[in-house]
């Protein structure tokens, strides 16, 4: 009889114990994968939000600007500089920005804001501000009016959960409100009629501003209203301007959403008395993976000397990186504790199994089975035990993660507020199946195999004559 066959039969001698042990392995694998997927997915989402709506992966700035963000620390956006950067093989395009601060006011309210001058067309490559224009807003009036229509009860219930929320896309509105397939044709026109918001983008040279949704609410701004910006301009000038609100935009990062004002970059340069100047130039890359970013960064760094500085997204978002890194370590510790509990469970089973079968091991060696062959059978048994749990865990975790990937967990009401207060988008996303799947499975497999060391040592040290008396 082959080792693997004998091991399989041995496994089912104590059916209940095998099922319980495999179940503990299953839960370890399942929860570890779900936890890891949620953690990594949420981090990715946070990074993506901040990178794609603000920093980009690489920026070129005046060397003083990062430490001292004043409008005097700008650089000339010359054609020579542009060609030096764009000749790099991984550079797709350059996105010019003029970033400063100002006091914004409308009516009796005012607030310190971040003013971002952008190229309306080129910015579509990165943050795509146009796609963030608010198209729906679930105000109290809109919800009351929608409820007065003939709508399904689930929609009426869900509307209350997302009261006062704004949406840029039909898709996210439909997901949040749980609009069922087939219902969208009848419900979307109703939602558009009462909750639809009319917004428009701007183009170069237009004296128009786009403001974040939260900031617009604070200042009580709607499309067509006017915003006044007042601040310090280049070399001691006073920056002052009046702009018509072209549209309200929804930025996933709540902190940014609460302070952002976009202007066309040329309009912004005029506001700050700095024509042809930029505070930063976002380098749009062809390939965004970590290695490609590192490579591009190194090449640009060697090419651009003073007064330029090349910054990577990690440097620009240091606090967030550290925060998420610490959270990641915390998550790993939690998973480690989970593994430790499971390891003791598996080890308990191995201890019992070894004690119960000591006599049998003695008989097998007495009649001529080599100890190495016997340990081979036991390793197979442990492998089966682990594999059963791992495969079951993966089999359940995969569809759960795929479902979670397409249906992220949106927080509502007070929980959402807590997340937003911390500056995060109130949503937990799952990461698509990736390397972590293999690493989690491997860790559990290693735990099971390490637990197998105990019976192997016992067999190696076993004296047949003593084992037969057991």
Give contact residues for another protein (rule: CB under 8 A): 1, 6, 9-10, 13, 359-360, 363-373, 464-465, 468
In 165-249, the DSSP E strands lie at 166-167, 208-212, 226-232, 238-249
The per-residue b/e assignment along 367-392, b for 16 or more CB within 10 angstroms, e otherwise, is eeeebeebbbbbbbbbbbbbbbbbeb
Taking the complex as a whole, how short is the minimal distance between the CB of residue 428 and another protein, in angstroms?
47
**Least Å from the CB of residue 455 to another protein:** 16
CA 136 to CA 147: how far, in whole Å?
Answer: 16
Please, is 263 exposed, middle or buried when counting C-beta atoms within 10 Å of its C-beta (0-12, 13-18, 19+)?
buried
Rounded to the nearest whole angstrom, what is the least distance from the CB of residue 449 to another protein in the complex? 22
Nearer to another protein, 2 or 147 (CB): 2
In the numeric block, which tokens belong to residue 24? 């503990």
Yes or no: say if 425 and 253 are a contact pair by the CB < 8 Å rule.
yes
The span from the CA of 30 to the CA of 24, in Å, is 10
Which lies closer to another protein via its Cβ, residue 48 or residue 359? Answer: 359
Of 89 and 359, which CB lies nearer to another protein in the complex structure? 359
Q: CA-to-CA distance for 23 and 41, rounded, in angstroms?
A: 26
Cα 33 off chain centre by: 16
CA distance 86 to 247: 32
The dihedral sign for the CA sequence 124, 129, 133, 138? positive
Whether the CB-CB separation of 161 and 112 falls below 8 Å is answered with: no
State the minimum distance, in angstroms, from the CB of residue 457 to another protein: 15
User: Could you identify the residue written with the tokens 């890891």?
Assistant: 36
In DSSP terms, 100 is beta-bridged to 115
Provide, rounded to whole angstroms, the least separation between the CB of residue 464 and another protein: 5
Residue with Cβ nearer another protein (328 or 464): 464
CB of 389: closest distance to another protein in angstroms? Answer: 21
Closest CB to another protein among 242 and 373?
373
DSSP state of 105: E
The DSSP 8-state label assigned to residue 52 in this structure reads I
- Side-chain-side CA neighbours of 128 within 13 Å: the count stands at 9
By beta-carbon proximity to another protein, the closer residue of 314 and 371 is 371
* C-beta of 1 vs 79, nearer to another protein: 1
| Closer residue to another protein, CB minimum distance, 44 or 464 | 464
Q: Find the shortest distance in angstroms from Cβ 13 to another protein.
A: 6
Question: % helix / strand / coil in the chain, to the nearest 5?
Answer: 55, 20, 25
- Give yes or no for a contact between 60 and 85, defined as CB atoms under 8 angstroms apart: yes
Looking at the Cβ atoms of 435 and 461, the one nearer to another protein is 461
| Shortest Å distance, C-beta 385 to another protein | 15
Q: How far is the CB of 350 from another protein (least distance, A)?
A: 18
CB of 362 to another protein, least distance (A): 9
Nearer to another protein among residue 180 and residue 359 (C-beta): 359
Q: And the tokens for 81?
A: 């500089």
């Amino acid at each position: 009889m082959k080792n693997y066959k004998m091991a399989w039969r041995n496994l089912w001698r104590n059916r209940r114990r095998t099922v319980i042990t495999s179940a503990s392995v299953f839960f370890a694998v399942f929860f570890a994968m779900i936890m890891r997927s949620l953690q990594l997915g949420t981090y990715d989402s946070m990074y993506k939000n901040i990178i794609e709506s603000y920093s980009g992966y690489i920026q070129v700035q005046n060397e003083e600007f990062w430490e001292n963000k004043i409008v005097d620390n700008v650089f000339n956006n010359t054609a020579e500089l542009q060609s030096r950067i764009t000749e790099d093989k991984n550079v797709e395009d350059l996105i010019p920005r003029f970033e400063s601060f100002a006091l914004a006011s409308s009516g009796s309210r005012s607030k310190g804001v971040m003013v971002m001058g952008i190229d309306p067309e080129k910015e579509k490559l990165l943050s795509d501000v146009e796609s963030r224009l608010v198209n729906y807003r679930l105000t109290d009036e809109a919800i009351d009016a929608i409820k007065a229509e003939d709508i399904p009860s689930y929609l009426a219930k869900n509307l209350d959960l997302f009261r006062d929320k704004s949406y840029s896309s039909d898709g996210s509105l439909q997901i949040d409100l749980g609009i069922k397939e087939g219902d969208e044709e009848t419900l979307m026109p109703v939602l558009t009629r009462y909750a639809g918001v009319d917004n428009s983008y701007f183009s170069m040279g237009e004296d128009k501003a786009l403001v974040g949704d939260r900031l617009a609410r604070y200042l009580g701004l709607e499309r067509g209203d006017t915003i006044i910006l007042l601040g310090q301009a280049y070399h001691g000038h006073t920056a002052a301007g009046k702009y018509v609100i072209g549209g309200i935009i929804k930025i996933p990062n709540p902190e940014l959403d609460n302070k952002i004002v976009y202007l066309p970059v040329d309009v912004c340069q005029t506001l700050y008395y700095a024509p042809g100047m930029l505070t930063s130039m976002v380098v749009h890359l062809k390939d965004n993976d970590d290695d490609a970013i590192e490579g591009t960064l190194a090449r640009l760094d060697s090419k651009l000397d003073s007064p330029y500085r090349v910054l990577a997204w990690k440097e620009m978002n240091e606090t967030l990186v550290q925060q998420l890194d610490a959270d990641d370590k915390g998550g790993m510790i939690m998973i480690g504790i989970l593994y430790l509990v499971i390891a003791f469970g598996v080890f308990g089973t191995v201890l019992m199994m070894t004690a119960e079968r000591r006599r049998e091991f003695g008989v097998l060696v007495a009649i001529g089975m080599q100890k190495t062959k016997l340990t081979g059978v036991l390793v197979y048994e442990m492998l089966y035990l682990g594999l059963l749990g791992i495969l079951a865990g993966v089999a359940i975790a995969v569809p759960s993660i795929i479902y979670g990937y397409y249906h992220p967990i949106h927080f509502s009401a007070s929980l959402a507020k807590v997340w937003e207060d911390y500056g995060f988008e109130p949503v937990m996303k799952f990461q698509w199946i990736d390397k972590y799947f293999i690493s989690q499975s491997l860790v559990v497999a290693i735990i099971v195999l390490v637990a197998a060391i105990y019976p192997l040592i016992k067999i190696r040290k076993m004296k047949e004559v003593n084992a037969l008396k057991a």
